[in-house]
């Protein structure tokens, strides 16, 4: 049986004057419903490209993506994306930033009242219901990212795609948002793919960590299952030997086997 | 209001006064009280423009008495202004109307030309900003026509419309459209790719994308273009009306020149300036109301 989300032999090749340039090759990955998978690798390894292919924002040169037994090759609300720089629309209030998605996705399916409730519900989920009438310019970076997550969740996507969602945030805010994300994942059981370059984040949040080799011709180097019980607590895990083992494994992959090409 | 704020912001003598409020005001006698005292603050705000006024007046008196005695001095001009402004809306036939009417007719032409420029310029700007082909096709034309002096268009307008009024409006239109096109195009190009990705993920139709994403995202740029454009339009109308005649502040200036009534011309210049400030203030108000960046 094929998995819920299946990335099948995906590769990207750009034609250049010096012949074809292989950016990404042989990406094969199956993800089950409700799984939290993070993709980690150095900059330029094409991890964002994989996400864009799943999201339909970029086209694979070969191979394809099958979600819930249907091939996907264009963007759609069933694969909601949380962008790194939140990408809220600055002229809309927090409420309307979520409502624009809800109205589009559920315009025909839900009544006005239901949609309003749904917007409020999702903002409550990310603890942003106190700032619904604020504009993105008036709230902090962490709050913006919360709203970005609420907007994505409100689409009820089959897969939630997160492109380094907390990369631009300070460490404390990032920890808060990671905790919120774990809470939400436990509550809703979303299927999540998260791009990250933060080792701790990947181990803390993921069921599986996909480690990418460096480009060009980047591919999946190793997939590690993180067998830690949920709910996870970052303080308890700090002294947990299994957690530290996983962490060391990822670090070893990134800094021994795949040294950062830019740092070399 | 906005203009006043600008003066405060630009005035370096006012800024240091903000500092003493952080110190212990009142307890230390060495700290000047002026930062807290509203009267002292008022003097600091009012004095610099007052000095400017005095210098300008002195220069004016100097020129009108020694350099060019044909130019009336402040006294004569002020009396003329009182006479003109006492009854701005009189009508003694088509060739003799109050200055209020002159301004009114000029504003009518400006707004007509400006409205046309917005209606044509914004969509054109969108085309130039979104389509590489349209950009290539139109940008040489824009580059050539943009620096053309407004009045060079007047003969073309007269030939096209065979009437002075539409010609004047045409001149306003053709000179004030460029900032709108260019600013709109810049605004469209400056839209972050992420906004478009949001539109794609939501599967917005092209029409929905235009109304919900493109238009609001470019609105600040469009408003900037409109503000620049309205300023140009008001400058151009005076020159255009000097040539076309009819009722209007430009022709009024020309008419008073023919009557050798220089005091009236100086009054008209001041009126033109004040109307310009008012137009600018209105656009600033509109901009602060609709520009999400400024809130």
- Closest Cα of chain B to A247: distance in Å? 32
**Residues of B whose CB is below 8 A from A81:** 197, 201
Q: What is the mean predicted confidence (pLDDT) over B239-258? A: 90
Residue of A75, A137, A155 with shortest CB distance to B200:
A75
Is B30's pLDDT higher than 70? no
Answer whether B191's CB lies under 8 Å from B213's CB.
Answer: yes
Cα–Cα distance measured from residue A43 to residue A179, given in angstroms and rounded to the nearest whole number: 25
Judged by CB atoms closer than 8 Å, whether chains meet at A77 and B198 is answered as no
Cα torsion angle, A125, A130, A133, A135, sign: negative
**B217: which chain A residues are within 8 Å (Cβ-Cβ)?**
89, 91
Is the CB of A87 less than 8 angstroms away from the CB of B216?
no
Residues B100-127, mean pLDDT to the nearest whole number: 95
pLDDT band, very low/low/confident/very high, at A84 (cuts 50, 70, 90): confident
Best of B201, B213, B290, B293 to disrupt the A interface (most A CBs within 10 Å) is B201
Decide if pLDDT at A67 tops 60.
Answer: yes
The nearest alpha carbon in chain A to B198 belongs to A87
Cβ-based contacts of A90 with chain B (< 8 Å): 292-293
pLDDT on residue A19: 85
Integer Cα distance of B145 and B159 in angstroms: 18
Q: Is the ipTM of this complex over 0.90?
A: no
CA nearest B216 in A: which residue?
A: A91
Please report, for residues A157, B89, B219, the alpha-carbon distance to residue B241 in angstroms, rounded to integers and kept in the order given.
62, 19, 32
CA distance B287 to chain A (A): 13
- The helix, strand and coil proportions of chain B, stated in percent and rounded to the nearest 5, come to 80, 0, 20
Sign of the dihedral defined by the CA atoms of residues A211, A213, A218, A222, in that order: negative
Give the mutation candidate from A90, A105, A147, A150 for the B interface (greatest B CB count, under 10 A).
A90
Contacts of B295 in chain A (CB under 8 A): 135, 137
Determine, for residues B216 and A135 on separate chains, whether the beta-carbon distance falls below 8 Å. Answer: no
pTM of the model: 0.77
What mean pLDDT, rounded, does chain A reach? 91
Of A79, A87, A105, the CB nearest to B195: A87
Q: Provide the angle, in degrees to the nearest 10, between the axes of the packed helices B99-130 and B249-258.
A: 130
Pick the residue of A91, A101, A156 with the most B CBs within 10 A to test the interface with B by mutation. Answer: A91
What pLDDT does B21 receive? Answer: 39
Q: Please give the Cα distance from A189 to A158 (Å, whole number).
A: 10
Chain B residues 168-197 with CB within 8 Å of chain A:
192, 194-195, 197
Give pLDDT tens digits for A144-186: 999 999 999 999 999 999 999 998 889 999 999 999 999 999 9
For residues B258-269, give the mean pLDDT.
Answer: 92
pLDDT of B35 reads: 54
DSSP label at residue B207: H
Kindly list the residues from chain A whose CB atom is less than 8 angstroms away from the CB atom of residue B192. 87
Q: Give A177 to chain B, closest Cα distance, Å.
A: 21
Is the Cβ of A157 closer than 8 Å to some Cβ of chain B? Answer: no
Q: Does B213 touch chain A (CB under 8 A)?
A: yes
B192–A87 CB contact, under 8 Å: yes
Query: Which residues on neighbouring strands pair with residue A8, listed in sequence order?
Result: A64
Nearest CA in chain A to B215: A91
Percent of chain A with pLDDT over 70: 98
Percent over 90 (pLDDT), chain B: 64
Interface of A with B in 204-243 (CB under 8 A): none
Tokens 């990822």 map to which residue? A250
pLDDT given at position B245? 84
Residues of B in Cβ contact (< 8 Å) with A77: 201-203
| CA–CA distances in Å: residue B117 to residues A99, B157, B252 | 34, 15, 25
Residue B85, CB half-sphere, CA atoms under 13 Å: how many? 12
């Amino acid at each position: 049986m094929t998995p819920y989300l299946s990335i099948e032999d995906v590769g990207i090749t750009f034609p250049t004057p010096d012949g074809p340039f292989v950016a990404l090759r042989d990406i094969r990955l199956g993800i089950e419903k409700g799984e939290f998978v993070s993709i980690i690798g150095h900059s330029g390894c094409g991890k964002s490209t994989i996400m864009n292919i799943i999201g339909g924002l970029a086209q694979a040169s070969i191979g394809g993506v099958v979600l819930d037994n249907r091939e996907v090759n264009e963007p759609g609300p069933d694969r909601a994306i949380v962008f790194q720089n939140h990408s809220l629309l600055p002229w809309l209030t927090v409420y309307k930033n979520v409502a624009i998605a809800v109205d589009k996705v559920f315009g025909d399916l839900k009544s006005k009242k239901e949609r309003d409730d749904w917007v409020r519900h999702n903002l409550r989920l990310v603890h942003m219901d106190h700032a619904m009438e604020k504009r993105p310019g008036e709230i902090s970076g962490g709050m913006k990212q919360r709203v970005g997550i609420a907007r994505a969740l409100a689409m009820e996507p089959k897969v939630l795609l997160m492109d380094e969602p907390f990369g631009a945030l300070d460490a404390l805010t990032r920890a808060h948002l990671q905790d919120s994300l774990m809470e939400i994942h436990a509550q809703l059981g979303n299927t999540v793919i998260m791009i990250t370059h933060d080792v701790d984040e990947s181990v803390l949040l993921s069921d599986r960590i996909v480690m990418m080799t460096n480009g060009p011709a980047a591919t999946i180097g190793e997939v590690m299952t993180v067998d830690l019980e949920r709910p996870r607590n970052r303080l308890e895990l700090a002294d947990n030997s299994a957690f530290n083992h996983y962490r060391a494994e990822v670090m070893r992959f990134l800094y021994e086997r795949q040294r950062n090409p830019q740092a070399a | 209001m906005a203009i006043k704020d600008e003066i405060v912001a630009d005035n370096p003598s006012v800024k240091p006064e903000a500092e003493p409020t952080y110190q212990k005001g009142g307890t230390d006698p060495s700290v000047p009280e002026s930062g807290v005292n509203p009267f002292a603050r008022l003097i600091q705000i009012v004095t610099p423009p007052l000095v400017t006024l005095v210098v300008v007046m002195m220069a004016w008196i100097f020129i009108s008495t020694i350099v060019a005695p044909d130019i009336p001095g402040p006294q004569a001009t002020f009396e003329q202004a009182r006479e003109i402004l006492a009854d701005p809306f009189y009508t003694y036939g088509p060739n003799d109307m109050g200055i209020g009417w002159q301004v009114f007719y000029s504003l009518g032409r400006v707004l007509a030309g400006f409205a046309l420029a917005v209606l044509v310029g914004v969509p054109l700007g969108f085309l130039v900003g979104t389509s590489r082909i349209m950009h290539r096709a139109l940008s040489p034309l824009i580059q050539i026509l943009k620096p053309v002096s407004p009045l060079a268009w007047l003969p073309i307008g007269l030939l096209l419309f065979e009437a002075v009024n539409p010609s004047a409006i045409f001149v306003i239109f053709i000179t004030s459209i460029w900032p709108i096109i260019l600013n709109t195009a810049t605004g469209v190009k400056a839209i972050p790719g992420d906004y478009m990705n949001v539109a794609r993920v939501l599967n917005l139709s092209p029409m929905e994308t235009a109304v919900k994403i493109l238009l609001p995202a470019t609105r600040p740029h469009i408003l900037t273009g409109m503000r620049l454009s309205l300023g140009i339009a008001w400058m151009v109308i005076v020159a255009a009306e000097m040539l076309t005649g009819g009722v209007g502040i430009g022709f009024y200036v020309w008419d008073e020149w023919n009557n050798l009534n220089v005091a009236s011309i100086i009054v008209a210049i001041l009126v033109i300036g004040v109307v310009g400030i008012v137009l600018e203030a209105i656009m600033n108000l509109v901009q602060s109301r609709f520009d999400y960046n400024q809130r």
